[in-house]
Amino acid sequence: MSRQIARLLLSTANFLTLLRLLATPVVVVMVWRSAESPELRSAVVILLIALQATDVLDGFLARAGQRHLEGGNRFGEIVDPLADKLYIGAAYLTLALSGQFHLWFACLVIVRDVSIVLGWSFIFYRVGVAIQPNIAGKVADSFQAIFLIAIFLDLAPQLMLFGTIATAGIVVFSGLSYAMTACQSVGTAANSKP
């Protein structure tokens, strides 16, 4: 693969990430209006599936392009997880504020995401360690996105209860996992200083 094609793949990945970021206000409006317009719920499902598909596709394109370029994709490394957290968190918060889902669940998702972003930003500022996504975080993000879609599919109450408990548990576990990784990173950085 030529460097030109690799750059094109990275540019396409970054464009998809930017689209997802810019789609957040559209998600908020559609989720809010879906409380009064049940037929809009299908459109929300399609939008959320499309956004999740762009997340998978931009990750694939970025990895393919990075294999042939040095230096990585700093834009994608920073903006991609932020775009996901923003549209998913905004959707859960809008669901809660419009009375369509539990406020405690939306707060759990948002507190975890804000804690990760602020915590790792502080650690990067203090000791220069950049955030590294981990398996628990990726699983939690996927569960949040899939469960968000499930909410709009109006599944049976038993399935929704199971989904709520399972997703909440994974969100808490991943938050604790990030906190432990952050503490280890700070400890390692402190021990490596002369």
Q: Break the chain into its structural domains and give their ranges.
A: 3-192
pLDDT digits (tens, 9 = 90+) for 33-85: 998 888 899 999 999 999 999 999 988 888 888 777 776 677 787 888 889 99
Q: Residue 157's pLDDT band (boundaries 50, 70, 90)?
A: very high
Contact, 135 vs 141, CB < 8 A? no
Predicted model pTM? 0.88
Token readout for 50 is 């499309």
Fold of 3-192: Four Helix Bundle (Hemerythrin (Met), subunit A) (1.20.120)
Q: Of all residues in the chain, what percent carry a pLDDT higher than 70?
A: 95
Q: How much is the pLDDT for 178? A: 87
